[in-house]
Every structure is written in C-alpha cells, then in structure tokens.
Homo-oligomer: A and B are copies of this chain.
Amino acid sequence: MPWLNGTGPPWLHGKFKGCGYRLTLPRQAILDVLNKTTGHLSAEDIYLKVHKIYPAIGLTTVYRTLELLVQMGMVFKFDFGDGRARYELSEGPKSIGHHHHLVCTGCGRIIDYTDFIDEEIELLKKTERGLSKKYNFKITNHLIQFYGICEKCQK
C-alpha cells in the first residue's frame, strides 16, 4: 500500500469527502498505523507510533481522528476495563476480520478468537434480525466478550 506520500487512495478521499470531512496527512498517518499494526491499540499507543514518523502530530489530533473514524464506522472502539479505550480497524488489509474476545480478569490479557462455530454466526444473524424487528433497532455491529481466568493466571 504505497499511498502515504501522495494524496492517498482515491476511494478514501471520497469516503471522507462524502461525509464532509477532509483526508489530511495526520488522518492518513493514523489510518496507516492502524493498518500496519494488529492488536488492541490505545490512543497513546497510536500517538507514539505516529509520532515516530511525524513528530508534529499531537495526541489531541489522534483522539479527534479516532473519534471521527469510529463515527464513520471505520474503526471500532473497545473497552476492556483497564481505564483506557482500545481501537481497531473494523475492516481492511491487516484487520484480522471480525473477531470476539476472551478477557482475563486476572492479568487483563486479551485473546482474540475468530474460529466461530457456524452455528454462532447463524444464531447471531437470527438474533439480529429478531431484535431489529422487535425493537425497530438498526443493528450495525456487535460486541461479544467472555470474561474469565487465562491459562497463566490459573497457576
């Protein structure tokens, strides 16, 4: 993906423009970090990574951009209960794709899992349909987390 030193891919420009926003360098840089990194990054994590390449970009902008991206549906914001929000690209090249989480209440470790059972997806769809209809609620996303004690913490 060799579009960081240009104006970025045209579709991205369009996506921003369509929402009345501008695709600026800081925003590209932040998206780039999200693309390159897999994991659950905090705002500061992202800031530090961006900062290495563009020291001029400040933490405030990172927060603002992330909020924007979340609002645009490009980024998903998680809360694992450790006092800081985590951000993840909701789709895209390096995104593992949709996944759910195992959260260790002992050490805070997060395990992603994507090996859904077919039934799981089936039921989710079914549930979404049912809920949408009953509550007239337009579902755009879901969050599924299992809490417990991880292997290491059991010892």
Q: Which residues of A are in contact with B by a Cβ distance under 8 Å?
A: 77, 79, 81, 102, 104-105, 111, 113, 115-117, 119-120, 123, 126-128, 130-132, 134-151, 154
User: Can you identify 10 A-B contacts, CB atoms within 8 angstroms?
Assistant: A102-B131, A104-B137, A111-B135, A131-B146, A135-B151, A138-B148, A138-B154, A139-B146, A140-B147, A141-B147
- Taking the closest CB of chain B, its distance from the CB of A42, in whole angstroms, is 15
Q: How far is the CA of A66 from the CA of B145 in the complex (A)?
A: 21
Counted per complex, copies of this chain come to 2
Assembly CA distance A31 to B27 (angstroms) = 47
Q: Is the CB of A128 within 8 A of B140?
A: no
The CA-CA distance from A148 to B133 in the complex, in Å, is: 13
Q: List 5 additional contacts besides A123-B123, A131-B146; criterion CB under 8 Å.
A: A115-B131, A120-B127, A135-B150, A139-B146, A141-B146
- Whether the Cβ atoms of A105 and B140 lie closer than 8 Å is yes
Which of chain B's residues has its CB closest to A71's CB? B105
